[in-house]
Amino acid sequence: MVTVYDVPANRLIKMAAEKLRDFPEVTPPQWVAYAKSGAHAIRAPEGADFWYVRCASLLRSVYMKSPTGVSRLKTKYGGRKKRGSRPEHHADAGGSMIRKALQQLEKAGLMEQKKKKGRIISAKGRSFLDSIAKEVKGGATPA
């Protein structure tokens, strides 16, 4: 059985992002085109499918290490903040984008919230990602 652990992350995320477009609950908020992804970012994300790629990446992250909360994901998606001539330091990503994406994935039924622990992947989400992993690996196309 092929799982998420057996395939390259970039190919899995790209294919999952394409399939997330079919979920009516997962739609980019209007403000996402104007907001930076964190204090470390210089500009707002420019990719046309940024929201779907971020949602797919979050789904994979929660699959790989759960339960996971927004705080840990902010650290993971953060980056180096340029500070002029001073040394660079790590800055966390913005929590609003991550929180909204997780809420949408919950509405779609791909994630669920565990009391006082964080978010975990649901059975539907695990099946969704495993079927994509099988497709990426070269197995039969899921129905």
pLDDT at residue number 48? 83
pLDDT at residue number 139? 55
Q: What is the pLDDT of residues 42-64, one digit of tens each?
A: 888 888 889 999 999 999 999 99
**Residue 131 pLDDT exceeds 60:** yes
Residues 120/62, Cβ–Cβ less than 8 Å: yes
What average pLDDT does the structure give for the chain? Answer: 91
Coil, helix or strand for 64? helix
The residues facing 121 across adjacent strands are 111
Q: Using 50, 70 and 90 to split pLDDT, how confident is the model at 38?
A: confident
Q: Using 50, 70 and 90 to split pLDDT, how confident is the model at 89?
A: very high
**Residue 143 pLDDT exceeds 70:** no
**Residue 88 pLDDT exceeds 90:** yes
Distance from C-alpha of 92 to C-alpha of 33, rounded to nearest angstrom = 19
Distance from C-alpha of 126 to C-alpha of 46, rounded to nearest angstrom = 29
pLDDT at residue number 142? 52
Residues counted in the chain:
143
Q: Using 50, 70 and 90 to split pLDDT, how confident is the model at 138?
A: confident
Kindly report the CATH number that applies to the domain delimited by 4-137: 1.10.10.10
Q: What is the pTM of this model?
A: 0.89
- Residues 70-94 have a mean pLDDT of 93
